[in-house]
Amino acid sequence: MIKKANRLAQTFNGFHPVAWGVIVGTLLARTGFFMTIPFLGIYLGKVKGIDPATVGAILGISLFIGTWSSFVGGALSDRLGRYPVMIASMAVWGFVFVGFAFAEATWLFFALSAMNGLCRSIFEPAARALLADVTPAEKRTDAFNARYFAINLGGAIGPLIGLKLGAGGTTSAAPFLLSASIYGVYAVLLVYFGVVLALQYPLSRFMKRFPAMTALKLGCLLFGLGLFGLGAFDHVVLLVLAMAVFTSGEILCFVIGDVLIGEIAPEHLRGTYYGASGFAYIGQSVCAWFGGYLLKELGFDQGMLIFGILMLLAFAAFPFFHRGQQLRSRQTKLQAASAAIRSANANA
C-alpha cells in the first residue's frame, strides 16, 4: 500500500504546472458544461415555450457544428498557438452561456447552440495538444487519465449543482450565469499559465548555469518582490510587471524544487521524498487563515502593508535554502573525496 501511495505521489508530482492547469480547468469547464447543457432541452421547452421538434433541432445543431469544426480547432492551435485559441474559445464560450440565460428569439438559440458546439470543438483539441506538449512521453498516459477523471468528476457534480440552482425550471438563468463565470475564470487562468509557459523555458535554460539551490534562493526573492508589487502598484503595466516577477519566482521555486528532489532522493525512496514535499501545503493552509486575519485586523485599504508582510514571509525561506546549499556542497565534496579514495585504493 505504501509503495502504491509513493508511486501515486511521484506520478502526480511529475506533472507540469501547465498540465495541472489543463486538468483542473477541464474539471471546471466540464462542471459548468454539465451544470446546464443536460437541462437545456427542458429549459427551452418549459421556460421558453419552444416546441419539441424545434428543441431537438437546436440541440442537434450543436453536435453537427462541433463534428465538422473539430479539425479546424486543432489546425488553428497548430497555426496560431495553443493559448490564443484556448483563451479566445473559452471567453466566447462564457458569453454563449450568458446568451442562453437572456435570449428570447428562437433563432438566437440556434445561433447560441451552434456557437456552443463550435467553441467546444475548437477548445478541446487545443487543450489536449497543450497537455501533450508539456508532458513527457512517459507521463502522458497518466496525464490524460487524470484529465479523463476530471471530465467524469465534472459530469458527476455539474448536474447536481445545476439541479440545486433550478436548472430547467423558472430560475434557470442562475446555472447559465454561474457556468459563464466559471468559463471566465478559466480564461483568466489560461492567461496566467500562458505567462508561466512563456517565462519558464528561458528561465530554466538560464538557471542551468547555476546550482539548483541558487535558483531556489533567487526564486524566493523574486516571489516576495512580486507579491509586494501586487500590493504596492496601481498602474496596470506595473501590476503586469509584478505578476511577471512573481511568476518567475514561482517557476524557480516549484519547478527547480521538483528537479532538486529528484536529484537528491535515492531511487527507491523517490516517491516518499516527493510525497514529503506535500508538507509545503501546511504553509498554504496556515497562511490562508493568516491572510484573512491580516485583512480583518489591518483592513482592505492596507494592501502595501499586507503584501509587505507576505514579502517578508517569502524572504524567510532564503536562509533555509542557503543552509541547504551549504549542506549539499559539503555532501558533494565528501562524496568526491570518498570516490577519489576508492579509486586510489583500486589502483594501488
- What are the structural domain ranges in the chain? 11-199, 210-328
User: What is the rounded CA–CA span in Å between residue 168 and residue 82?
Assistant: 34
Q: pLDDT band at residue 168, thresholds of 50, 70 and 90?
A: low
Q: What is the reported pLDDT for 125? A: 83
Superfamily of segment(s) 11-199: MFS general substrate transporter like domains (1.20.1250.20)
Q: What is the mean pLDDT of residues 92-117?
A: 89
Per-residue pLDDT tens digits for 243-284: 888 878 877 777 677 777 777 777 777 667 776 766 776 776
Is residue 236 pLDDT above 80, yes or no?
A: no
Q: How far is CA 205 from CA 60, 135, 208, in A?
A: 49, 18, 5
308: its cell numbers: 509587505
Per-residue pLDDT tens digits for 129-148: 888 888 887 777 888 888 88
pTM of the model: 0.60
User: What is the rounded CA–CA span in Å between residue 51 and residue 323?
Assistant: 72
DSSP class of residue 265 equals: S
Q: What is the reported pLDDT for 112? A: 92
Q: pLDDT band at residue 344, thresholds of 50, 70 and 90?
A: low
Is residue 20 pLDDT above 80, yes or no?
A: yes
100: its cell numbers: 442562453
User: What is the rounded CA–CA span in Å between residue 147 and residue 20?
Assistant: 9
Cα 67–Cα 151–Cα 69 angle in degrees, nearest 5? 15
Q: What is the mean pLDDT of residues 56-62?
A: 86
Q: What is the reported pLDDT for 285? A: 66
- Are 248 and 203 spatial neighbours (Cβ–Cβ below 8 Å)? yes
User: What is the rounded CA–CA span in Å between residue 254 and residue 288?
Assistant: 19
Task: Quote the longest CA-to-CA distance of the chain.
Answer: 95
